[in-house]
Amino acid sequence: MENNSKIVWVSVIGNIVLAVVLVLFIAFGRTKPIEEYDTEIATLKTENTGLVDDNKALRFENTISNERYNDLDKEYNITLEDLKTSDDIIARLRAKRPKNGKSNYVDNLSDDAIIGEFTKYFERRVQRNN
């Protein structure tokens, strides 16, 4: 008999708890009608479609930007190598120049080579003046 009364009390307490949960669910459960949820879901789906399209466009632009970056990086490296070569040539020429600032390049040339250098010099001047 004692077991039966315990079972009855547990059953009564369980039913009371379920009733309280049901009342709370009804009172505080839904704040929006189902139609508002449906319209909100439809709006979010539309926004999602737009965002997917934007994402595809941005990925395409990113690919183009990466290709442009790689091209510019290659140009930069080539220019950097040319600049290093030019710096080496300038350093070498400065090292050969005596302290008075005049080059001894002509002193080391033969007579025919001097005439060729003067010809190149005058051709460069004519091109510069045109």
In whole angstroms, give the CA distance from residue 22 to residue 82. 81
Residue 115 located in a structural domain: yes
Residue 61 located in a structural domain: no
CB 104 within 8 A of CB 96: yes
Residue 116 located in a structural domain: yes
Residue 54 located in a structural domain: no
What percentage of the chain exceeds 70 in pLDDT? 85
- pLDDT tens digits along 21-68: 988 888 877 666 677 778 888 899 999 999 999 999 999 999 999 999
pTM score:
0.40
Residue 82 located in a structural domain: no
Residue 123 located in a structural domain: yes
Structural domain of 126:
105-130
Q: Structurally, how many domains does the chain consist of?
A: 1
CA-closest candidate to residue 103, choices 111, 93, 112: 93
- pLDDT tens digits along 63-111: 999 999 999 999 999 999 999 999 988 888 777 655 666 666 667 777 7
Q: Which residues contact 98 (CB under 8 A, 6 or more apart)?
A: 104
